[in-house]
Amino acid sequence: MKIIECPRDAMQGLTDFIPTELKIKYINQLLKVGFDTIDAASFVSPKAIPQLRDSAEVLDNLDLSKSKSKLLTIVANERGALEAAKFQSISYLGFPLSLSETFQQRNTNKSIAQAFDVVKTIQEICVKHQKEMVTYISMGFGNPYNEPFEASIVSEFVDQLNKLGIPIVSLSDTIGVSNKENITGIFQSVSDEYPNIEFGVHLHSDLETATDKIDAAYKAGCRRFDGAINGFGGCPMAEDKLVGNIATETILSYLNKYNIENTIDKSEFNNALNMAPQVFLNR
């Protein structure tokens, strides 16, 4: 079971700037918890995401000496990928590829066709610099822009990513429209068809449906879950009401309920849980 904690996603939409020192302190605490990966930074335009303009400084001050967690950073173009690739501490470069033409333009200022070209370039950079690429298929469970959406479109995108050699694909519910049925159907379909790709889910949800979504993904075979403590986050580029991330504590509650083995240190997780309001709410 791989749990990916996403402080980057939780922070990116906040307008009140979180002090760099506090970001470093918080992510250093997350490094003690036992997460497989921490989505810690973003090398995108500071005009687009001003909250993360200090990502390089944050990464330079993380203490990885006693942590087995790996680091992931989001990039949106070749320049960001090359900058991120300089950091030995980073294991994964993530790119948001959307099934929605509208959202791809909003999120990366590119068409879907152009975005696939960027995926190819970033994959080449990853291979050259011994990184792994994670491609997020955003709007992967529904489209709010009155554009075509069906499960076969997801499969078509995955097929193209497979041809590019992308090792990890995270199916992303950017606006919280997924449900048990489409999570089960879409995840099983692509994971059965492309067994060489590691599939995960990055789900957004309200509290009432979060556990049902986790249950559906797990029973469909998912063993890679993104979450954010307290469910903070949401994509500011969607220009819709922000629907928060699946709360990490909800994922852990599900795993504990069914005695599913995981690597989380409960004491250190509680320390991070107690620190989160200081980071996100009480500055």
The per-residue pLDDT for 243 is 58
Q: How far does Cα 51 stand from its chain's mean position?
A: 17
What's the Cα-to-Cα distance from 165 to each of 9, 33, 98, 125, 146, rounded to whole Å?
A: 25, 31, 18, 13, 31
Joined tokens for residue 248: 């990490």
What's the Cα-to-Cα distance from 278 to each of 10, 23, 31, 134, rounded to whole Å?
A: 13, 10, 18, 30
The per-residue pLDDT for 237 is 47
CB 44 within 8 A of CB 52: yes
CB 93 within 8 A of CB 83: no
E strand residue ranges, the chain: 2-5, 37-43, 70-75, 90-98, 132-138, 168-173, 198-203, 224-227
Query: Average pLDDT for consecutive 10-residue bins of the chain (283 residues)?
Result: 96 93 98 98 94 98 97 97 98 96 91 97 98 96 87 96 98 89 97 97 90 97 97 59 80 97 97 96 71
Q: What is the tally of helices (H) and strands (E) in the chain?
A: 11, 8
Using DSSP, state whether 258 is helix, strand or coil: coil
Nearest one of 173, 174, 201 to 187, comparing CA atoms: 201
The per-residue pLDDT for 234 is 56
Return phi, psi of residue 241, to 5°. -60, 125
Joined tokens for residue 92: 């994964």
The per-residue pLDDT for 174 is 79
Write 101-104 long-range contacts (CB < 8 A, 24+).
Answer: 101/147, 102/145, 102/147, 103/138, 103/139, 103/145, 103/174, 103/237, 103/238
Return phi, psi of residue 100, to 5°. -100, 125
Determine the residue type at 33: V
Structural domains in the chain, sorted by start: 2-280 (3.20.20.70)
Indicate the length of the chain as a whole number. Answer: 283
The per-residue pLDDT for 148 is 87
